[in-house]
Structure 1
């Protein structure tokens, strides 16, 4: 069995972030870049992260280098990738970043196949100087959340989806997670957010915020399309214990409410896609100031030693995710 994956709030030696590099993938490329720049600058603040900013095309490289010239704690890393969701295509680092687990990637169930996405883990491993342990299972990092004690949160909708690993059942997946990531206990949730192309990644639904404490949304407004999923998630967590046998507590955090795209179709906007950094928690916001304020106030109760930083992520969301999705930490 591998060593247990550290919790995200454990100290990091570096944070990887993907830079919007391919214009054809974005409704508003410049706004997406401005939003990612805001994230990078927040991460690179004094005493926080060494940011490794992965840029996926030669065309994007020069402008990115100019944008961050002179910014301390930011290293621009030329690379090849199809899209910026490094949480899913990159490796999952173990304790002390001495090793990292690399899984197969099939474009979220063969829905989005882009050149070079299957090469991201190797590039990150090579730049970081971390040897990769390869696993034949298809799995994205955003489909899991870790408490540092061997408890893993995930959803059946994603992890048992036959568009990833045909024939997987809970026990099959459990063996893989135990061997590859040191899982001692898996908490199975049901469905993720409506219209989430990842088939219900847990990092949009529920996140560990402390040992024995899981944050999950509560509906904001009367027309929140995910109200039932949120309540089902909270009920499942309340009925669970972690790997130590401790009953789990639930912290309900207001969702952004109904957020729609240009065609008035609900999109999977989530405050759960926050990123826990050294000294800060960066929270994505989507235009509802009250919902964002309440979400940040709730997170402040469990991160009293972190600065809670809300930042806009509406343009990033049009690409399919938010701050947690475009990042991956290297534990110290």
Structure 2
């Protein structure tokens, strides 16, 4: 059996995340971002019904803070260095094959050289060591948030990210598809165009398009006439339908402003746990509607909406800060 990244809705033995601690990165948002991360962890733990949450903490002070904040959950806190909390991109991607699980460590260059932080390139190896999982290194630049998979060998990505010259200059679509096949067992790849406006990841697809079942793709729908991503959503839908996928629309948060700028707020950055699906909220008019639509697609899980405004100031949301470890069949 070929090694393949399972769909996120398949069972997890645990999920990895990290505790915010860098005051120079988070500034006044540090304390409230910690509260939002803590709320996410408690939701995933689900009173003991969900998967185990494994938490990286960059220093001893952060270890103590995380342990105090997460008391009463089954979360495990591990002292390991990292630059920032975006483990979807810096952590390993776990693939499953005949030999069990393998952790794949990709090259990482700070999202095209924009945020090159010490120790982010060591996270995958740290998690592989802590989980006693064989580590395989792949020698090209790639981040986990750049794709979403449905577990059958189908994945979705954006041209804006994977064809960006700040990642792998000169690498063609065909070469990227071959690499993804070798590393993650991806046999078919839907290429969308651009990602969300002002997304510093250069258009990660987990802010735009997510699978809810094999061949079923969720896409945002423009919230109003001034939705800054209306054209992106329309183009993505046209490409997905032409590819032959079933598309389900989810209301967009619309135009969300922070410090005078449009920010890449997205309900698509939800996390699918063993017992819950956790949807980021922004105080937008469509918050409740988005939770209802996404929750209806995962009827065996509880749909939980949690505010993620302060995590978003760092550049992402719940999916960006998690990396699931699949259960072993």
TM bucket normalised to smaller: over 0.9
Mapped to 2, the partners of 1:219 and 1:225 lie a distance apart of: 8
Aligned to 1:298: 293
Query: CA RMSD, aligned part only?
Result: 1.2
Matches within 5 A, 1:181-196: 181-196=184-199
- TM superposition score normalised by structure 1: 0.95
Aligned to 1:19: 19
Aligned to 2:250: 253
Aligned to 2:59: 57
Aligned to 1:30: 31
Aligned to 2:122: 119
Aligned to 1:244: none
1:95 aligns with 2:113: no
Mapped to 1, the partners of 2:183 and 2:96 lie a distance apart of: 13
Contact 2:42 2:73 (C-alpha < 8 Å) held by counterparts: no
Matches within 5 A, 1:37-48: 37-45=38-46, 46-48=48-50
Higher mean alpha-carbon deviation, 46-55 vs 9-18, is at 46-55
Aligned to 1:309: 304
Q: CA deviation at 1:19?
A: 1.0
Mapped to 1, the partners of 2:258 and 2:264 lie a distance apart of: 10
Contact 2:42 2:70 (C-alpha < 8 Å) held by counterparts: no
Cα deviation 1:29-63 (Å, max 9, x = unaligned): 11000000000000111321100011112222212
Displaced runs of 4 or more, over 3 A? none
Aligned to 1:268: 264
Structure 1: give runs of 5+ residues left out of the alignment. Answer: 241-246
1:227 aligns with 2:217: no
Q: CA deviation at 1:110?
A: 0.4
Mapped to 2, the partners of 1:48 and 1:320 lie a distance apart of: 26
Aligned to 1:327: 322
Matched residue SS, 1:271: coil
Q: Which of 283, 286, 297 is the aligned partner of 1:287?
A: 283
Contact 2:198 2:264 (C-alpha < 8 Å) held by counterparts: yes
Q: CA deviation at 1:95?
A: 2.0
Matches within 5 A, 1:37-186: 37-45=38-46, 46-69=48-71, 71-95=72-96, 98-186=101-189
Q: CA deviation at 1:301?
A: 2.4
Mapped to 1, the partners of 2:183 and 2:70 lie a distance apart of: 36
Aligned to 1:10: 10
Matches within 5 A, 1:186-225: 186-225=189-228
Q: CA deviation at 1:2?
A: 4.4
Mapped to 1, the partners of 2:101 and 2:175 lie a distance apart of: 27
- TM superposition score normalised by structure 2: 0.96
Matched residue SS, 1:48: coil
Matched residue SS, 2:313: helix
Structure 2: give runs of 5+ residues left out of the alignment. Answer: none
Mapped to 2, the partners of 1:186 and 1:233 lie a distance apart of: 14
